Amino acid sequence: MIYHFGLTGFPLVYSLSPTIHQAAFRSTGLAGDYKLFPLNSGESFERLLLLLRQGDLHGLNVTIPHKQTVSQFVDRLSPTAHMSGAVNTIFMNQDQMVGENTDVVGFLTDLHEKIGSNIENRNALILGAGGAARAVVVGLLSVGWKVSITARKAEQAQKLLTDLSPWAREGYLNAVEYQAERISDEIGNFGLLVNASSGGMYPKVFDDPLPSAVPIPEGLVLYDLVYNPIATALIQRFRRAGNAAHNGVGMLIEQGARSFELWTGVHVNRQAIWDAVEKQ
């Protein structure tokens, strides 16, 4: 069998997903390809998904800005996708199109790989409130973290809070107003800061999603989902302060590998993907 997979979203020109999946094909010995389908609006989704229903495509990844809106086009959501309200992987199960979210397990797997159980303070502040933030919040809540959300768009942060509150224990999900003074007052309460926004992503490499007036407390660990550039302005700021800071390459690799495994049923060698990504 020759597999045909792809990625839709916008922009896609800097995506590492083709590198990840081509490495997965090589490491498993399966035959197939992985194509990019840049779509800036939802208008062409149905045409693209028809390829999946017809069997011309065997799996589809979804990225910014469609992770939340694509759910209306599928027949069924997995429990994780339903809880997070975001989809990054679509596949056919018999005659049903299923939306899944491998970002959640991808994030948790790489976070554990990076920090293990080294953080005693299991309080996290999340920057951003889009589809990636939803996956991070759902993941952290599922393993017992207390989570606070702050985002430039207050209404988006409030919606995320409202949507996910039913899944959170009382007092485990909160919001912090996106103002330097308010974040500064709260920042010392957290052991982990996660940038789940696009702040600092190429080509806007000098953008820093954390207001410059906010101090970096000793011991606060940063996990920045952005992977291009490898060391964002925020990561560099944390490292200058002597704090641990990690990028999102590991999460990207893990969520991609999980998608590939969903589509094929074949285990993927993560090291093979790491080697390909590092070379790229």
Domains and CATH numbers, the chain: 2-101+250-279 (3.40.50.10860), 104-247 (3.40.50.720)
Q: Known catalytic residue: 67? A: yes
pLDDT (tens digit per residue) in 3-42: 999 999 988 888 899 999 999 999 999 999 999 999 886 6
Task: State percent of the chain over pLDDT 90.
Answer: 85
pLDDT of 43 above 70: no
Total Cβ atoms within 10 A of residue 141:
19
User: Tokens in use for 135?
Assistant: 């996956």
- The residues, any chain, with a CB within 8 Å of residue 204's CB and separated by 6 or more, are none
Q: Which residues contact 53 (CB under 8 A, 6 or more apart)?
A: 92, 97
Distance from C-alpha of 222 to C-alpha of 235, rounded to nearest angstrom: 7
Residue type, 40: N
Find, among 233, 183, 231, 238, the residue nearest to 211 by Cα. 183
pTM of this structure: 0.93
In a 10 Å sphere around its CB, with 0-12 CB exposed, 13-18 middle and 19+ buried, how is residue 69 labelled?
A: middle
| pLDDT tens digits for range 89-136 | 999 999 999 999 999 999 999 999 999 877 889 999 999 998 899 999
Choosing from 67, 114, 159, 204, the catalytic residue is: 67
- What's the token pair of residue 140? 């952290």
Token pair 């590092």 is found at 278
